[in-house]
Amino acid sequence: MALELIKGNTAVAEAAMRAGLVSYFGYPITPQTELLEHLSARMPELGRAFVQAESELGAINMVYGAACTGLRTMTSSSSPGVSLMQEGISYISGTELPAVIVDVVRGGPGLGNIAPSQADYTQIVHGGGHGEYHLIVLAPASVQEAVDLTGMAFDLAEKYRMVVCLLLDGFLGQMMEPVVMPDFQPVRTTPPEWAVGSPDSKERVVLTSINIDPPNQEQFNVKMMTRWEEVEKNEVRYKGYYLDDAEYVVIGYGTAGRIALTAVRAAREQGHKIGLLRPISLSPFPTRAVDELADRVKGFLVVEMSNGQMLDDVVSIAARRVPVDFYGRMGGMVPYPDEIANAIIEMIQGEHDVNADGRAKWLAKMRELVGTGE
Amino acid sequence: MTEADVKVVYKRPIGLTDLVTHYCPGCTHGVAHRLIAEVLEEMGELNNTIGVAPVGCAVFAYNYLDFDFVEAAHGRAPAMATGIKRTLPHKTVFTYQGDGDLASMGMGEIVAAASRGEQITVIFINNTNYGMTGGQMAPTTLPGQKTSSSPLGRDVETQGYPIRTAELLATLDGAAFVARRTLHDARGIRMAKRAIRTAFEVQKQGLGFSMVELLSICPTNWGLNTTNARQWLAEHMLPYYPVGDFKVSTAVSEMKIGGN
Ligand SMILES: Cc1ncc(C[n+]2csc(CCOP(=O)(O)OP(=O)(O)O)c2C)c(N)n1
Ligand code: SF4
Ligand SMILES: [Mg+2]
């Protein structure tokens, strides 16, 4: 297997092609644009559909249409564009359609900046659109993992007829790493039985997210939630590092998780029994793994490139059994391993107060460190 | 009567289900549905068509038009149709949209689809208001026209001017066929059918984007009976929204329509 040096965005684009992508619809936005640019050349080359849409609203609704054919479709964007897509994501979910969305997260809120961030956790994991629905959310920490999860994203989308989001950050999108690309999968070009335009459906097919009678809508939502229970049972993914004898555990995903690993290794070298839990599926969240750790370790440190959006999930699982410290950088700032290593030491030497508010402690520190600019 | 004496002059097209529609009595949404069903039947396209329904009174168009259908978010039908058509280029794909849906919420999507020369057909129902939500002002509401959200009549100084959608889209090079017709009388309906046929033929022959704007009545929200509503359309809408072909590309003008 040949290793190739590829940029994260380009690698995901190529991996999607190899996973049998039939159509792509997108709109330029940094730090995601290479993904769109790669496909603008490659898709037509292989006779597949590529449209640069008029907006992210257009793009997601083109995906909505393409998803109604049941054939592999995808869009990609970055935070402000994904905010615009939320309408369509809700509709696609409400119509039970498979689709893949790549969000290469950047600093915000508002126009923010083009630097790496993880501040889309809440809008992606806890749903930015209206109504009750869930996305499967996969968060890689390297270009190779992004490539591997891209193929899996399409499989999961089809298996559960759901939207799967590949949540990257600007760092992963822009970084070049050596990767092994997967082989080309056969491309399905005939719509499955449930889709529009299928030669196999016995009756005409109508795909809609409307349920005008509330009892029907409620029943549909029960069905969707039952399916989600299945997803929670089958599709939790995470990686544990040094957890066996860990007394304290750092929890971080994606780029933050990767940087945290460097800090954890450094702390290990100093003799501290530290482990790392790196969620790969942010939704479904590795709740059981965190729950079990909360029974046997002395403390958690959540590390994110946001104001602690995953932190809220960890706090609720920990349920005051262990203190949950927090270290985050915001607005496109990326933490150095040293900063996380310091936070680890502070956790170990801290008060171990399970009632302490990890975010408030961190914010007080941030006011010292970076100020408020006022 | 012998069998030879019986001649069927009028029957339900096979593209229409036998449901009673939810449209108000006299509403021309039903007429537009029928014309689409007749045209697609005549073209032998019923089994090859995918419709995109709007948000508006025609939200349940797929209950009456009996072929594959999807339901778009408000205004986004042209984008959704693009996704379908690009994925399944041999299918006939059309959107059915009201004036609030197309000319207000979805103006971005329709302009982009037309300018891309997207190979889809758009049936556009202009009834000068938001029928479904109770007759509020639409981009097509005429100057001075009273609606539930312009109770004193549309004041162009503060509420702007109506949009002539067909004329606007006709300026785009990607648009191959753009026409306006009216559904207020029998002659208008016959002409509307021919334009709808042309529009679908344009798509079938891959000549580009096609749209037919259909002037429609909304007796309920206009507060008029059907007869008066038709008359109101003729008196007030036709002068502002003239019937005509606003874009016929060279390829379309040379197009041959099979079986006609
Ligand atoms: C995002 C969004 N905004 C508003 C609405 C409410 N809404 C439903 S139908 C409609 C107007 C439809 O008017 P038009 O397109 O003219 O269709 P008509 O009913 O007149 O045929 C509106 C505003 C909606 N469904 N979705
Ligand atoms: S409200 Fe108007 S457009 Fe809607 S069905 Fe009734 S008459 Fe037709
Ligand atoms: Mg209307």
**Does residue B30 sit in helix, strand or coil?**
helix
Name B254's Cβ contacts closer than 8 Å, sequence gap at least 6: none
Instruction: Tell me, yes or no, if B62 comes closer than 8 A to chain A by beta carbon.
Output: yes
Q: How far apart are CA B146 and CA B128, in angstroms?
A: 10
- Ion ligand 3 neighbours (CB, 5 A) are B 98-99, 127, 131
Average pLDDT over residues B189-212: 98
What pLDDT is attached to residue A242?
98
ipTM for the assembly: 0.94
Report the residue from B66, B76, B84 with minimal CB separation from A68: B84
Atom of ligand 2 nearest to the CA of B26: 7
The residue among A40, A69, A73 with the most chain B CBs within 10 A of its CB, best to mutate, is A69
The residue count for chain A:
374
**Does residue A270 sit in helix, strand or coil?**
coil
Residue B123 CB neighbours (<10 A): 28
**Does residue B136 sit in helix, strand or coil?**
strand
Q: Where in chain A are the domains?
A: 4-234, 240-369
Q: Which pairing describes strands A176-179 and A4-7: parallel, antiparallel, or unpaired?
A: antiparallel
pLDDT of B116 higher than 80: yes
Tell me the CA–centroid distance for residue B123 and ligand 1, in Å. 16
What pLDDT is attached to residue B257?
79
What pLDDT is attached to residue A207?
98
Q: Which pairing describes strands B129-130 and A4-7: parallel, antiparallel, or unpaired?
A: unpaired
Q: Which pairing describes strands A274-279 and A281-283: parallel, antiparallel, or unpaired?
A: unpaired
Question: DSSP assignment, residue A107?
Answer: S
Q: In this structure, which topology does domain B21-252 adopt according to CATH? A: Rossmann fold (3.40.50)
Residue nearest to atom 3 of ligand 1 (CA): B74
Write a three-state SS string for B65-129. ECCEEEECCCCCHHHHHHHHHHHCCCCEEEEEEEHHHHHHHCHHHHHHHHHCCCCCEEEEEECCE
The pair of structure tokens assigned to B253 is 């003008």
The pair of structure tokens assigned to A198 is 């299928």
Q: Is B189 left (phi over 0), alpha (psi -120 to 50) or beta?
A: alpha
Specify the CATH architecture of the domain A4-234: 3-Layer(aba) Sandwich (3.40)
* H or E element, residue A367: helix A358-369
Choose the residue to mutate in B99, B133, B141 for probing ligand 1, maximizing ligand atoms within 8 Å of C-beta. Answer: B133
pLDDT category of residue B91 using cuts at 50, 70 and 90:
very high
Please say whether the beta carbons of B177 and B249 come within 8 A: yes
Percentage with pLDDT > 70 across chain B: 98
The pair of structure tokens assigned to A146 is 């992004």
The residue among B48, B68, B74 with the most chain A CBs within 10 A of its CB, best to mutate, is B68
Average pLDDT over residues A318-328: 98
Contacts of B88 in chain A (CB under 8 A): 69, 191, 197
pLDDT category of residue A127 using cuts at 50, 70 and 90:
confident
Instruction: Tell me, yes or no, if A196 comes closer than 8 A to chain B by beta carbon.
Output: yes
Contacts of B109 in chain A (CB under 8 A): 54, 57-58, 61
For the entire predicted model, the pTM comes to 0.96
pLDDT category of residue A2 using cuts at 50, 70 and 90:
confident
pLDDT of B259 higher than 70: no
Q: In this structure, which topology does domain A240-369 adopt according to CATH? A: Rossmann fold (3.40.50)
Name A154's Cβ contacts closer than 8 Å, sequence gap at least 6: A16, A19, A20, A21, A72, A74, A98, A100, A164
The 10s digit of each residue's pLDDT in A182-206 is 999 999 999 999 999 999 999 999 9
pLDDT category of residue A1 using cuts at 50, 70 and 90:
low
Contacts of A206 in chain B (CB under 8 A): 62, 68-71
Average pLDDT over residues A124-152: 97
Of the bound ligands, which one is closest to the alpha carbon of residue B133?
A: 1
